[in-house]
Structure 1
Amino acid sequence: MAETTTKTYSVAVGDRRLQLSWAGTTDVGRRRETNQDDFYAEYPLFVVADGMGGHAGGEIASQSTVKRLQAVVATGTVERGAIESALELAVNDIAEHPDTTDEGTGTTLTGIFLEFADGEPHWVSLNIGDSRVYLLREDRLVQVTTDHSVVQELITAGKLSPEEAEGHPYSNVITRAVGASELNAPDYVTIDLRAGDRFVICSDGLTKELTDYGIQHFLRENADPAAAVQAMLAAALENGGRDNVTLIVVQVDDDSSSTSGE
């Protein structure tokens, strides 16, 4: 596994400071020949993209999407309108790429970013597809995002239990993606910025191999984001590594330092 390091950034919240720290990694897994996942983890945006499509389609889609979002961060203004404009550009990039196929080329996208309202920051999660954002708050893990998938629609309609969904033949079929078609805007959820919170942003390559309890366990056992990322990746590979595995851990702590960022 590639070495993973923790990065930090200090954020002013009213009259105090909070320190954000994070780490991320991606791995091809044990059964796939190529890695169609991609991720971006730099303040104030943390996203995971899980590509799909024949030939090199999935890799094209995930990398194009991440590249366009990275450009948004470079402008210094990360907000919903800018993100959606970047995703429209990514759709065009995917459609026009010479190696894009008609085999369902596209990518999921999920993550979090800091949004500022009246100068005060809060988190916003964004989601298209079945990659996920989890939040560990006060030792309770919750799934922030809702999957855009056939089985999730069946669960919501009361036609399928979560337990039945795990082995369902359509468990990998998603209903929304960033791809060579008209873009649906992401779903957004606003979350207050609170010390002690820890986020996990991941592709389904992680959640296929680790239960929610397993994710919570490795967060509890590893205080450093890089250590938590490496522990979860190792467990996912040990449990089969049936898909590409990509994850980011972001955590928030009280910060007594006076630096503005690193």
Structure 2
Amino acid sequence: MPEPSTQSRSVTVPGGTLELNWAAATHTGRRRDVNQDAVFAEFPLFVVADGMGGHIGGEIASASTIERLRDVAGTGTVTPKSIEKALSRAVKDIASHPETTDDGTGTTLTGVYLDTSGDSAHWVTLNIGDSRVYLVRDGAIVQITTDHSVVQELIAAGRLSPEEAENHPYGNVITRAVGPSESVTPDYVRLDVVAGDRFVICSDGLTKELTDYGIRHFLDENSDPAAAVAAMLDAALENGGRDNITIVVLDVESSPAES
């Protein structure tokens, strides 16, 4: 597997210049034969997809979704409308592929993009399924996205504690996905742009092996995005690597207010 490398970009936004650094990696893990995860990390869009369905169906679903979103990112302007149009096309791609079926074929999708269309820049997270976006700000790590899963619904209803959820038999059952019979409208969260912010975008192959505290530990220990990605990937593999693992670390080095 090639070592992750840090990419950098200066972005002109309303009010100044934004410095971004990021790195990404994906790995099959120790228990799976194929990698059904897919990743795209190029300004202004950073996304992870975790496929499901058959030996090859999930791989096709995640790859189709990422390719459609790559086209959107290539225009330089990402909006909820353009994302949802791309996802509708991905659903058609998945449904029409000869090696996929309607029975459980689909993919999660999560990530973040930079919206510079208004008077000030904002991050926007998007999410379908149980892959996650975390934000580290002022030394605290927060999960920004909400899992679309049976376990999360049980937690929200007060019927399950987070500790009980870790080993629940329905831990892998998601309630929303990009697939032939599923909704393709993500949840969105808008966030201010703040200097020093660090985003982690990941499939559940990472969060099965590392707690939120563990993720923050490796971020604290590694200021370079590529080093942080590599450290988390190594730790997830050492802890069992039960699933495909995909990680993006995105750093905001400066904000418009400081330019």
Match of 2:18 in 1: 18
Deviation for aligned residue 1:120? 2.4
Secondary structure of residue in 1 paired with 2:116: strand
Deviation for aligned residue 1:116? 2.1
Secondary structure of residue in 1 paired with 2:58: helix
Do 2:52 and 2:61's aligned partners in 1 also have CA atoms closer than 8 Å? yes
Counterpart code for 1:240: G
Deviation for aligned residue 1:255? 7.8
How far apart in 2 are the matches of 1:122 and 1:22? 17
Do 2:195 and 2:254's aligned partners in 1 also have CA atoms closer than 8 Å? yes
Deviation for aligned residue 1:14? 4.3
Deviation for aligned residue 1:50? 0.2
Give the share of equivalent positions with the same residue, in percent.
67
Figure out how many residues of one structure are paired with residues of the other and give that number: 256
**Once structures 1 and 2 are overlaid, which stretch shifts more, 6-15 or 218-227?**
6-15
Do 1:10 and 1:255's aligned partners in 2 also have CA atoms closer than 8 Å? no
Match of 2:73 in 1: 73
Q: Are residues 1:199 and 2:206 paired? A: no
Match of 1:236 in 2: 236
Q: How does 1:1-262 map to 2 (within 5 A)?
A: 1-254=1-254
Give CA-to-partner distance per residue, 1:79-104, whole Å, 9 cap, x none: 11000000000000000000002330
Secondary structure of residue in 1 paired with 2:223: coil
Do 2:88 and 2:184's aligned partners in 1 also have CA atoms closer than 8 Å? no
**Once structures 1 and 2 are overlaid, which stretch shifts more, 179-188 or 40-49?**
179-188
Structure 1 runs of 4+ aligned residues shifted over 6 Å read: none
How far apart in 1 are the matches of 2:76 and 2:255? 23
Secondary structure of residue in 1 paired with 2:121: strand
How far apart in 2 are the matches of 1:19 and 1:171? 38
Do 1:87 and 1:178's aligned partners in 2 also have CA atoms closer than 8 Å? yes
- TM-score (normalizing by structure 1): 0.95
RMSD of aligned C-alpha atoms?
1.3
Do 2:68 and 2:90's aligned partners in 1 also have CA atoms closer than 8 Å? yes
Secondary structure of residue in 2 paired with 1:100: coil
Do 1:91 and 1:183's aligned partners in 2 also have CA atoms closer than 8 Å? no
Deviation for aligned residue 1:180? 1.1
Counterpart code for 1:136: V
Do 2:4 and 2:230's aligned partners in 1 also have CA atoms closer than 8 Å? yes
Gapped regions of structure 2 (runs ≥ 5): none
Do 1:55 and 1:101's aligned partners in 2 also have CA atoms closer than 8 Å? no
Gapped regions of structure 1 (runs ≥ 5): 257-262
- TM-score (normalizing by structure 2): 0.96
